[in-house]
Structure 1
Amino acid sequence: MEKSENSNKGVPSGGARAGAFGHAFGYSGVKKRGHGSRSWIKIEQNGNAKVMELDKSTIMKNCSLPSRDLRLLDPLFIYPSAILGREKAIVVNLEQIRCVITADEAFVMNSLDGSVMQYKTELCNRLQATRDHADGLPFEFKALELALELTCTSLDAQAKELTSEIRPVLDELTSSISTLNLERVRRFKGNLLSLTQRVQKVRDEIEHLMDDDGDMAEMYLTEKKEKMEGYMSNDSDIDNIRSVAVNSDLDNIPSVGLDSVKWLSKSAPVSPVAPVSPEAVTIGSHKLQRAFSSITRSSQHETLTTTSSSQKEDIVQLEMLLEAYFVFIDHTLSKLSSLKEYIDDTEDLINIKLGTVQNQLIQFELLLTAATFVVTCFAVVTGVFGMNFETSVFDNPFTFNWVLKALFTLVSKAIHALHCTGSLTRQVIKHTMCKKDEPQLLLAVH
């Protein structure tokens, strides 16, 4: 036993080995970054803002959010734009603006980006300007509207800047095709594709919210908070009434401040002389509890009916707010689509020009080939008649002339045949291109 104990002294335990393994491969650092605190900007409902160091668990506890929702706001990961409505918060991930909005405050992830500072400054100014008078929008909608406004404005400004940069390059490319201009267009086309995808994602997210009434209803955080506080106050009043009914006489029930039960206290006769038996107290308390239960059910039914009608109106109000920015971002997407079509048209024009130049080069090559063929034929005749050997053909002086005439006729026939073949080839190519373009034309007509 002593030997085994001594032999295990130098062997680290399982936890130590795991810690050493995690330290060696950087696991502990990853875990620390994942659960460590981050810098957040807390913006209150009155317009005050301050920078705080909060960890992930604190945000999850205060806002009742799962870990996967906060993962969307992590700057270490790249996630598309998203707007999520939860029970007590709205999670917003729009470009550089990442925040968690509650009914009373907003937590914005601190960053050196100018959009974050602009969001903080503008939201504080708007909240302080509307502190004394209400403008009809709750706090969460003001924060959400500003995030949508800054995001849509930023994307539209980037689209305008890209359009102003790429159109002169395309115009220059149509006049002079060069490698430098082609490289610039290729780079701009990549930027255009990336920007189009970002704009498309924001547009789809707004459209998804507009199509789902349940998601829009989840975003009424202030209204849900007020309803919850009202239900809690009603429950506390009912508990007070029940405790009074059980612990006191039915003839001496005091008023607890509810208008719905004043008739019970007023209608009960007061007889301070005659004592009340415990059985009567019990029976009276049960009757009083049943009366309050019926009153509570009727008041809750009226509250739910009023809530459903007002919720529809509020959903329409939020839908109109989202629709305004949907139209704005859809217009930006249309401009990018038009720019993409302009690039495609320029590419088609360049391909046509290159095809024309290629055809001219092919024609010139055919001309050189024909001229070489003619010269070669006459050179063959000259070489044959210039050979130094005796034959009867050389004795006739008209033989050379007849050979030249026959050769000229053959060359003419060959050139004419080549010309006819080229015309036929061009017709076949033209017919093939027309057949290829027919489906596109039909789609355009439809």
Structure 2
Amino acid sequence: MDLADSASLELQAPSAVTKKTAVFRSWILLNHDGVATLLDVDKYAIMRLVEIHARDLRILDPLLSYPSTILGRDKVIVLNLEHIKAIITAEEVLLRDPMDDDLMPVIEELRRRLPIATAAGQGQGEEDTVAQDGESGEEDEFPFEFRALEVVLEAICSFLDARTRELESAAYPALDELTSKISCRNLDKVRKLKGAMTRLTNRVQKIRDELENLLDDDDDMAELYLSRKFAASSSPTSSSCDPKWLHSSPNPDSEIHNISNKTSTTTVEGDNDVEELEMLLEAYFMQIDGTLNKLKTV
């Protein structure tokens, strides 16, 4: 559903409401052109806007403790990964609590990478135009929902890796001080760092486990192909109407493309083919697994 279809929704800046209300009502919507719109709406408006059930929306409630989740539904992907609480459709992304400082870089990256490049090569020679259009075409054939998903996974893996490096930089000097001089102050410092390390390890482990569980189930991965499901429902008997991304490689600069070079001759044989998504998830699984190994080493 496009934002134009929800003209009756109340729109206003989050600063116009109390901080408590803003946590429950404040969302940001980014469309396929990367255009962002602040929404101050209740949960019922969100349910109507993206056709999501209340039980799935509760997963994103900041006051409820839900595990890390990447959940595919009929028309949406529900994501609860640390501070990133999002709903992805085949053409829009909604993020909860857009005023969160940790979420700002994610929003900016989505605004940069969601739009489809339509003007590549303008003002250049004909040969350059053809070459650049070819490159942008390859990127654009990757479905919208996976472009959005990749931004979120990249952001959460980088965020947790940064927190790990911060703890590493504090832990080793603290251990050196304790080795050279055993004191209550040094013992307390190391104890606090160990507690922080344990909590961070648990957070990283949850993300890793969710990616591993998803990779282990082809049916769950198939549920994330929103564009494919939409195309199938629109023209269930016509394979000629399948979007080009079903038969193409994704963004040449993305994690998934770097891995897919090894299997560039892969062809899609049916709606249950999840190889491209599997490679995307594996890329970030390896990244988060590396972060977990760093923490265990420390």
- TM-score category, normalised to shorter length: 0.7 to 0.9
Partner of 1:309: 269
Pairing 1:128-277 to 2, within 5 Å after superposition: 128=115, 130-131=117-118, 133-134=136-137, 135=139, 136-231=141-236
SS in 2 for 1:311: coil
Amino acid in structure 2 at the alignment position of 1:39 = S
Instruction: Give the aligned CA root-mean-square deviation in angstroms.
Output: 2.7
1:95 aligns with 2:100: no
1:321 aligns with 2:280: yes
Q: For the residues of structure 1 that align with 2:270 and 2:105, how far apart are their CA atoms?
A: 34
Partner of 2:255: none
Match of 1:335 among 290, 294, 297: 294
**TM-score, normalisation: structure 1:** 0.50
Q: For the residues of structure 2 that align with 1:87 and 1:206, how far apart are their CA atoms?
A: 20
Deviation for aligned residue 1:68? 1.8
Deviation for aligned residue 1:116? 1.6
Q: For the residues of structure 2 that align with 1:178 and 1:129, how far apart are their CA atoms?
A: 59
Gapped runs of 5+ residues in structure 1? 1-31, 232-298, 340-446
Partner of 2:8: none
Q: For the residues of structure 2 that align with 1:175 and 1:113, how far apart are their CA atoms?
A: 41
Amino acid in structure 2 at the alignment position of 1:57 = Y
The structure richer in helix per residue is 1
Q: 2:25·2:41 contact (CA, 8 Å) conserved in 1?
A: yes
Q: Identity rate of aligned residues, in percent?
A: 47
Deviation for aligned residue 1:308? 7.8
Q: 2:235·2:241 contact (CA, 8 Å) conserved in 1?
A: no
Pairing 1:430-445 to 2, within 5 Å after superposition: none
Q: For the residues of structure 2 that align with 1:46 and 1:328, how far apart are their CA atoms?
A: 29
Deviation for aligned residue 1:207? 0.6
Quickly say closer, same or farther: Cα 1:199–1:37, change in 2 above 3 A.
closer
Q: For the residues of structure 2 that align with 1:69 and 1:177, how far apart are their CA atoms?
A: 51
Q: 1:82·1:205 contact (CA, 8 Å) conserved in 2?
A: yes
Gapped runs of 5+ residues in structure 2? 1-19, 120-135, 248-266
Quickly say closer, same or farther: Cα 1:209–1:186, change in 2 above 3 A.
same
Instruction: Please identify the structure whose Cα radius of gyration is greater.
Output: 1
Quickly say closer, same or farther: Cα 1:37–1:96, change in 2 above 3 A.
closer
Quickly say closer, same or farther: Cα 1:308–1:58, change in 2 above 3 A.
farther
Q: For the residues of structure 2 that align with 1:95 and 1:50, how far apart are their CA atoms?
A: 23
User: How many residues end up aligned between the 2 structures?
Assistant: 238
Quickly say closer, same or farther: Cα 1:131–1:319, change in 2 above 3 A.
farther
Q: For the residues of structure 2 that align with 1:45 and 1:338, how far apart are their CA atoms?
A: 42
**TM-score, normalisation: structure 2:** 0.74
Partner of 1:68: 55
SS in 2 for 1:114: coil
Deviation for aligned residue 1:312? 4.4
Pairing 1:281-320 to 2, within 5 Å after superposition: 299=237, 309-313=269-273, 315-320=274-279
Pairing 1:381-420 to 2, within 5 Å after superposition: none
Quickly say closer, same or farther: Cα 1:128–1:191, change in 2 above 3 A.
same
Partner of 2:130: none
| Superimposed CA distance per residue, residues 227-254 of structure 1 (whole angstroms, 9 cap, x where no aligned partner) | 22224xxxxxxxxxxxxxxxxxxxxxxx
Q: For the residues of structure 1 that align with 2:87 and 2:99, how far apart are their CA atoms?
A: 18
- Worse-superposed segment, 168-177 or 64-73: 64-73
Match of 1:79 among 66, 84, 88: 66
Deviation for aligned residue 1:184? 0.3
Q: For the residues of structure 1 that align with 2:175 and 2:157, how far apart are their CA atoms?
A: 26
Q: For the residues of structure 1 that align with 2:280 and 2:169, how far apart are their CA atoms?
A: 30
Deviation for aligned residue 1:110? 2.5
Q: For the residues of structure 2 that align with 1:197 and 1:49, how far apart are their CA atoms?
A: 33
Q: Tell me: higher relative CO, structure 1 or 2? Use CA pairs within 8 A at least 6 residues apart.
A: 2
Q: For the residues of structure 2 that align with 1:204 and 1:144, how far apart are their CA atoms?
A: 17
Deviation for aligned residue 1:223? 1.3
Pairing 1:98-109 to 2, within 5 Å after superposition: 98-109=85-96
Q: For the residues of structure 1 that align with 2:71 and 2:239, how far apart are their CA atoms?
A: 30
Q: 1:115·1:150 contact (CA, 8 Å) conserved in 2?
A: no
Q: For the residues of structure 1 that align with 2:148 and 2:167, how far apart are their CA atoms?
A: 29
